[in-house]
Amino acid sequence: AQSVSQHNHHVILSEAASLELGCNYSYGGTVNLFWYVQYPGQHLQLLLKYFSGDPLVKGIKGFEAEFIKSKFSFNLRKPSVQWSDTAEYFCAVNTGGFKTIFGAGTRLFVKA
Amino acid sequence: DGGITQSPKYLFRKEGQNVTLSCEQNLNHDAMYWYRQDPGQGLRLIYYSQIVNDFQKGDIAEGYSVSREKKESFPLTVTSAQKNPTAFYLCASMGETGGFGDYGYTFGSGTRLTVV
C-alpha cells in the first residue's frame, strides 16, 4: 500500500535556524508531491508542489523542497526560520488519480 | 472569492445521534473529499467523490455516509455507528489547471465535532 512517512512529529527551533523536514513515500511509479502548511487557527494551504522537471521546487515564504527519486524523498527546507513559521506541515503524495495520501504531519515551533 | 465553506465550525453531538457536516464549494471543481484529522495521525480519507451522483469509500469510511447530489455540495453524515467521532473534519476539492493535472487541494476551514 502507498504510504507517506514524515520523520519528525515535533521540531523546535530558534529563529534564524535552518529547517529540514523529512518526507519519504512508498510508490514506484510517477508521483506528484506536495507540502501543505496549517498555521494555528487557519486553513490547510499549499506550500509547494512538484510534478516534473527541476527537482528543486521553490514555494511561498522562502520554502523549498528537493525531490530525490532514488531515495523516494521530498524533504522541505528553509535556510532561516521565523517565529511566524510555527505551524504544522504535511507532506502528501498523489500517484495520478483522485486520491492523495498525507503524512502524519510535523509540528514546528519556532522560539522567538 | 472562490473557495470552500464548511459549517458549522463547532458541533456537539450526543451519543447515539447522527449529525451532518456541510461542505459547499464555488470553484467548479469536480472532485471533493472528506478527511478526518487527529493529532499525530495526519489526514485520513473518509470518502471522496469524482463526479456528481458518485462517491467512493476512503480508508476509514465505517460509520460515515455521504451524498453528492449537486456539484457544489458534498455533505458528510457522522452516524451513531462511528465509535470515535470526536475529531476535526476537513473538506477539500480538487480541480485541474491549464489542461494539466494539478492534483492540488483547496481545503475548507474545518468542523470540529465533539461527542458529549
Bond preceding residue B8 cis, omega within 30 of 0: yes
Contact between chains at B35 and A104 (C-beta distance less than 8 A): no
β-bridge pairing A19-21 and A23-26? unpaired
Q: How many CA atoms lie within 13 A of B95 on its CB side?
A: 14
Interface size between A and B, measured as CB pairs under 8 A: 51
Closest to A10 (Cα-Cα) out of A111, A109, A110: A109
Long-range pairs of B95-98 with CB within 8 A, sequence gap ≥ 24 = B95/B27, B95/B28, B95/B29, B95/B30, B95/B31
- Chain A hits for B29, CB-CB cut-off 8 Å, are none
| Residue in A100, A102, A104 closest to B103 by CB | A100
- The span from the CA of B14 to the CA of A107, in Å, is 31
| Residue in B42, B107, B109 closest to A105 by CB | B42
Place of cell 507532506: A91
Closest to B48 (Cα-Cα) out of A5, A94, A76: A94
At B102, is the pLDDT very low, low, confident or very high (cuts 50, 70, 90)? low
State whether residue A44 sits within 8 Å of chain B by CB: yes
What is the pLDDT at residue A99?
75
For chain A (length 112 residues), average pLDDT per consecutive 10? 88 97 91 92 88 91 95 97 96 82 94 91
Q: Is B62 helix (H, G, I), strand (E, B) or coil?
A: coil
Average pLDDT rounded to a whole number, residues B48-69: 94
- Chain A hits for B45, CB-CB cut-off 8 Å, are 99
Q: Nine-digit cell at B95?
A: 480541480
